Amino acid sequence: MGVLKRYGAKLPVTDKTPSVNLEEGSTPLVRLDRIGEKLGVELWAKLEGCNPSGSFKDRGMVLAVAKALEDGARALVCASTGNTSASAAAYAAHVGVPCYVLLPSGKVALGKLAQALIYGAKVISIEGNFDRALDMAREAAEVRSFAMVNSVNPYRLIAQKTGAWEICESLGKAPDIHAIPVGNACNISAYWAGYRDARVWGNITSLPRMMGFQAEGASPLVTNKPCPDPETIATAIRIGNPVSAELAREAVRESGGEFNAVTDDEILNAQLILAKDGGIFAEPASCATLAGLIKLKESRKLPEGSTAVMILTGNGLKDPDTALSQVGKPIKIGSTLEELMEALV
């Protein structure tokens, strides 16, 4: 139905807000029993990769773009590790405004780059990391009066709360544990705000513990200091100085949760488990959630029998290179039945 249609009454949407809709949101919440049994929990995965541009970014982008149009913006600009640009480019194309995206050179997954380009955005690759690209985009937005659609745009966080509302509606309660990857820390902050809304409305009676997972090479919220040279294969969370750090700390503190770091190897291992034991192909950043839950289980911090929801933030198809680097190649045969029978072992 689209986020603005389904939840417009609870969002800052007015008579003057144009209706923008790519049928984002209302994503599947899938129970993963084979993996859950091993962890000793009732495990659910929210498949945000099923959004129209393949990541949760669409939930917030739809409102950010609608409000930009309402304010008469002539163009959109953003800095991105990939998914924000894919999403911004998609909505810009859908409503017919130009879109400029700044990407850190060489550090964007192939699928995301292809998306921004095919949707017709002007893609500018800068020498420097995401944090630098963000500063540059901010300045450009000011000089040119473009709408800045990064998560510094307040509408992104507000509309991303819908993910939590959906989970509460689907489960009929809040989970005990909410596992989520953390980059700029907007999404963890949005989910926490969303759960608190749901409690105020009487849809849930308890709140989840917010468990935020970062990649070890980009874990400023775990080490409690900015990380000048973030490095990880999980490019969507390769961020050294999170924009919403304060809100995220508050979410973790108030909910009795934790930030934890997981290594790239643990992320890749979790990606394989999700695919082979869950039938779900999620991009590396998303898999930090399962890697994190496995780590909590090993350190006896995952209560037996609890309900855990993982936010699988992006689709695995966005980063085929990383996936292919850890699986075998297809078996090659000729065209005889004998060869085929030999291969079927």
Candidates 25, 52, 104, 183: give the one binding ligand PLP (CB under 6 A).
183
How do beta strands 42-47 and 29-31 pair? Answer: antiparallel
Per-position x/- string for 186-215, each x denoting binding to ligand PLP as judged by CB under 6 A, each - no binding? xx----------------------------
Selected from 192, 283, 289, 319, the binder of ligand PLP by CB under 6 A is 283
In whole angstroms, give the CA distance from residue 179 to residue 291.
10
User: By beta-carbon distance, which residue lies closest to ligand PLP?
Assistant: 314
Stretch that binds ligand PLP, among 61-69, 130-138, 181-189, 297-305 (CB under 6 A): 181-189
Q: In one letter, which amino acid is 268?
A: L
Whether residue 318 contacts residue 111, with contact meaning beta carbons closer than 8 Å, is answered with yes
Return the number of the residue (174 or 182) whose C-beta is nearest ligand PLP: 182
In angstroms, give the least distance from the CB of 181 to ligand PLP.
4
Q: Does 184 bind ligand PLP (CB under 6 A)?
A: yes
Longest dimension (CA), the chain: 69
Query: Using the rule CB under 6 A, which residue among 25, 163, 181, 292 binds ligand PLP?
Result: 181
Residue closer to ligand PLP, measured from CB, 42 or 47: 47
Instruction: Walk across the sheet containing 177-181 and list its strands.
Output: 29-31, 42-47, 307-312, 177-181, 209-215, 258-262
Is 185 among the residues that bind ligand PLP (CB under 6 A)? yes
d(CA 51, CA 58): 7
CA geometry: angle 55, 59, 64, nearest 5 deg: 120
Scanning residues 112 to 171, which ones bind ligand PLP (CB under 6 A)? 151
Q: Which of residues 306-325 bind ligand PLP (CB under 6 A)?
A: 313-314
Least separation, in Å, of the C-beta of 333 and ligand PLP? 37
Distance CA 289, CA 164 (A): 16
Question: How far apart, in Å, are the Cα atoms of 61 and each of 83, 152, 168?
Answer: 11, 12, 22
Minimum separation from the CB atom of position 187 to ligand PLP (A): 3
Least distance to ligand PLP from the beta carbon of 252, Å?
Answer: 13
Closer to ligand PLP by CB, 78 or 185: give it: 185
| Rounded Cα gap, residues 171 and 57, in angstroms | 23
- Taking CB under 6 A as the rule, does residue 232 contact ligand PLP? no
55, 219, 271, 289: which one binds ligand PLP (CB under 6 A): 55
312 secondary structure, DSSP code = E
Could you please report the per-residue DSSP string of 169-213?
Answer: HHHSS--SEEEEE-SSSHHHHHHHHHHHHHHHTTS-SS--EEEEE
Least distance in Å: CB of 29 to ligand PLP?
17
**Which residue(s) pair with 102 in the sheet?**
79, 124
Residues of the shown chain interacting with ligand PLP in the complex, contacts defined by CB under 6 A: 55, 57, 83, 151, 181-187, 236-237, 283, 285-286, 313-314
